[in-house]
């Protein structure tokens, strides 16, 4: 193994090690605990940026760079082994997870939460699990790391959450456990029926290539399991109600990490695993994917427009935009899959930024009720500028990363159906309405009497540097990819060009029969 391979392992291990130290560091001073946590959040970011830079020149094995394998003695008996590596699909999401994790960590370090050591420990464990999700080549560990990251989520919502936190934590647990079980059943069934030597995704692709009997008999049912299992985890309509409630109750750092990164698990699983392995099953479920995705965009979009609670608006808006990712996948094309990955990266950065800024607004007005806000631009012009930019990024304005993802998805969807494209485009209008209206109400509207009284009793300054730094990190990512999308599309295109032509070919063969 080379140094870059060890660095990939370090990116997963560093936050987990930091969490372990905090878990058993009862006698470590608070200042040292915060330093350990900071290092745990910083190391994955530095490693991810370095691997991103080194990826193009790195040697590839079956399309993966920085490949490593660790056998725990389970490979022969169960086909399980910890295999880490990055391809063009996982690399952008790995980097996005590192950026959002670092920003969420900075927010947590200055949060002043009770039992801060426990709070940071759980957040580090969550972050380590997320890094492992996108670094895993073995689909067992891909699933394992996701569950590993979910456990701290439930605990943190229940312990540090806001209004209705216990109900929110319980509802999240029920929905996400159901989705996880369906996903696990589908993944195990693929392995069992493929006769592959291991859960290794590379071996699975080789085992299933040309297996006509497998394709004909099982793909429909297996893809359905994965679609609805992953769909619940991603808040696919109508299995979405846990998400806005959970994000509304969750602490800011948890909302940033879960909505920004963890919720990409399902879409990532579909684009990296389900469609390449089960292309004909995907074709069977195209109509379902499209109409459920349009449910997210249109139905949830209209619900988002009706929100008066700012944090709930951001939560419902996050759920709404997930529909674009599913529309990209429903195209069953290289272009659509590429658009879905671009969308996931942009969505992760923008929704994390929105949750961060929403908490900053709450600190200055004492409420999430937009009807009681107004005129905040006079007290916090920098905060107003950041929030306006975040809203424009979420809408998909040119110059931000989201523009390229949505544009690519619309182009791919146009090739599938003009009607579907027209319906999907209504989401852009809906996003603009609720987003720009929120900016107008919060920052430029006439302040209510409650807001005036609160501002007089609680004078606050503009966005300070401890909050600006994580916001700048996320906004810089959105601007950078908005002006230079090739930074992720180059490796992404290379991987999709080796995987998705087979998907398109399989679909065309059946369509011609």
DSSP code of residue 288:
H
Length of the chain, please? 513
pLDDT digits (tens, 9 = 90+) for 393-442: 999 899 999 899 999 999 999 988 899 999 999 999 999 999 999 999 98
Round to whole Å and give the CA distance between 190 and 296.
Answer: 28
Q: What confidence score (pLDDT) does residue 159 get?
A: 84
Name every residue whose Cβ is closer than 8 Å to that of residue 1 and which is 6 or more positions away in sequence: 68
Is the pTM for the entire model greater than 0.75?
Answer: yes
SS (H, E, C) 18-87: HHHHHHCCCCCCHHHHHHHHHHHHHHHHHHHHHHHHHCCCCCEECCEEEEEEECCCCHHHHCCCEEEEEC
Q: What confidence score (pLDDT) does residue 270 get?
A: 92
Q: What confidence score (pLDDT) does residue 211 get?
A: 55
Q: Is 220 exposed, middle or buried (0-12, 13-18, 19+ CB in 10 A)?
A: middle
Give the sheet arrangement for strand 60-61, strand by strand.
60-61, 64-70, 82-86
Q: What confidence score (pLDDT) does residue 435 get?
A: 93
User: In which residue ranges of the chain is pLDDT below 70?
Assistant: 1-3, 71-79, 210-217, 451-452, 455-459, 504-513
Dihedrals φ, ψ of 60, to 5°? -115, 140
Backbone dihedral region for residue 399 (phi beyond 0: left; psi -120 to 50: alpha; all else: beta)? left
| Calculated CA dihedral for residues 423, 318, 47, 28, nearest 10 degrees | -170
Name every residue whose Cβ is closer than 8 Å to that of residue 258 and which is 6 or more positions away in sequence: 153, 246, 247, 250
Is the bond leading into 238 cis (omega within 30 degrees of zero)?
yes
Round to whole Å and give the CA distance between 425 and 45.
Answer: 35
CA angle 119, 122, 127 (to 5 degrees): 120
Residue 123 · residue 152 · CB < 8 Å: yes
| Calculated CA dihedral for residues 317, 319, 325, 331, nearest 10 degrees | -110
Round to whole Å and give the CA distance between 81 and 69.
Answer: 7
16 membership: H or E segment, kind and range: helix 3-23
Q: What confidence score (pLDDT) does residue 62 get?
A: 83
195: three-class secondary structure by DSSP: coil
Round to whole Å and give the CA distance between 512 and 415.
Answer: 17
CB atoms within 10 A of CB 277: 27
Domain definitions of the chain by residue range: 3-511
Round to whole Å and give the CA distance between 209 and 128.
Answer: 33
Q: What are the angstrom distances between the C-alpha of 113 and each of 110, 139, 162, 230?
A: 8, 35, 12, 32
pLDDT digits (tens, 9 = 90+) for 422-431: 999 999 999 9
DSSP characters over 98-133: HHHHHHHHHHHHTS--TTHHHHHHHHHHHHHHHHHH
Residue 414 · residue 407 · CB < 8 Å: no
Q: Which long-range contacts (CB under 8 A, 24 or more apart) does 498-502 make?
A: 498/63, 499/63, 499/205, 499/276, 500/275, 500/276, 500/333, 500/334, 500/337, 501/334, 502/209, 502/276, 502/279
Comparing CA positions, the residue from 452, 485, 431, 441 lying closest to residue 366 is 452
Q: What confidence score (pLDDT) does residue 217 get?
A: 64
């Amino acid at each position: 193994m080379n140094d870059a391979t060890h660095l990939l392992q370090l990116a997963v291990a560093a936050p987990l090690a930091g969490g372990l130290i905090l878990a058993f560091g009862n006698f470590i001073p608070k200042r040292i605990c915060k330093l350990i946590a900071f290092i745990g959040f910083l190391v994955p970011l530095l490693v991810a940026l370095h691997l991103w830079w080194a990826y193009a020149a790195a040697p590839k094995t079956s399309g993966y760079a920085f490949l490593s394998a660790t056998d725990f003695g389970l490979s022969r008996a169960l086909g399980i082994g910890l295999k880490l590596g990055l391809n063009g699909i996982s690399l952008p999401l790995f980097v996005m997870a590192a950026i959002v994790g670092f920003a969420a960590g900075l927010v947590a370090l200055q949060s002043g939460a009770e039992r801060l050591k426990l709070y940071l420990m759980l957040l580090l464990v969550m972050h380590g699990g997320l890094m492992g999700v996108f670094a895993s080549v073995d689909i067992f560990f891909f699933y394992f790391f996701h569950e590993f990251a979910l456990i701290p989520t439930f605990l943190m919502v229940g312990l540090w959450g806001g209004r209705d936190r216990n109900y929110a934590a319980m509802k999240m647990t029920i929905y996400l456990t159901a989705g996880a079980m369906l996903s696990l059943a589908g993944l195990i069934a693929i392995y069992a029926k493929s006769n592959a030597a291991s859960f290794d995704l590379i071996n699975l692709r080789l085992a299933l290539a040309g297996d006509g009997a497998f394709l004909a008999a099982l793909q429909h049912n297996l893809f359905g399991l994965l679609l609805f299992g992953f769909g619940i985890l991603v808040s696919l309509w109508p299995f979405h109600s846990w998400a806005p409630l959970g994000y509304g109750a969750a602490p800011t750092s948890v909302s940033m990490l879960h909505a920004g990164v963890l919720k990409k698990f399902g879409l990532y699983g579909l684009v990296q695993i389900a469609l390449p392995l089960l292309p004909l099953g995907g074709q069977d479920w195209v109509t379902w994917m499209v109409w459920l995705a349009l449910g997210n965009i249109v139905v949830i979009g209209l619900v988002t427009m009706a929100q008066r609670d700012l944090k709930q608006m951001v939560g419902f808006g996050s759920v709404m935009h997930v529909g674009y990712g599913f529309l990209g996948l429903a195209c069953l094309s290289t272009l659509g899959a590429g658009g879905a990955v671009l969308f996931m990266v942009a969505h992760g950065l923008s929704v994390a930024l929105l949750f961060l800024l929403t908490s900053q607004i709450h600190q200055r007005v004492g409420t999430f009720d937009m009807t009681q806000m107004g005129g905040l631009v006079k007290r916090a012009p920098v905060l107003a500028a950041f929030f306006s930019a975040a809203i424009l990024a979420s809408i998909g304005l040119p110059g931000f990363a989201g523009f390229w993802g949505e544009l690519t998805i619309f182009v791919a969807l146009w090739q599938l159906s003009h009607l579907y494209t027209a319906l999907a485009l209504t989401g852009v209008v809906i996003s603009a309405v609720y987003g720009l209206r929120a900016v107008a109400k919060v920052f430029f509207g006439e302040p209510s009497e409650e807001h005036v009284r609160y501002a007089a009793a609680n004078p606050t300054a503009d966005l300070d540097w401890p909050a600006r730094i994580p916001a700048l990190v996320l906004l810089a990512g959105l601007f950078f990819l908005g002006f230079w999308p090739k930074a992720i599309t180059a490796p992404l295109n290379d991987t999709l060009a080796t995987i998705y032509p087979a998907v398109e070919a399989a679909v065309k063969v059946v369509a011609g029969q």
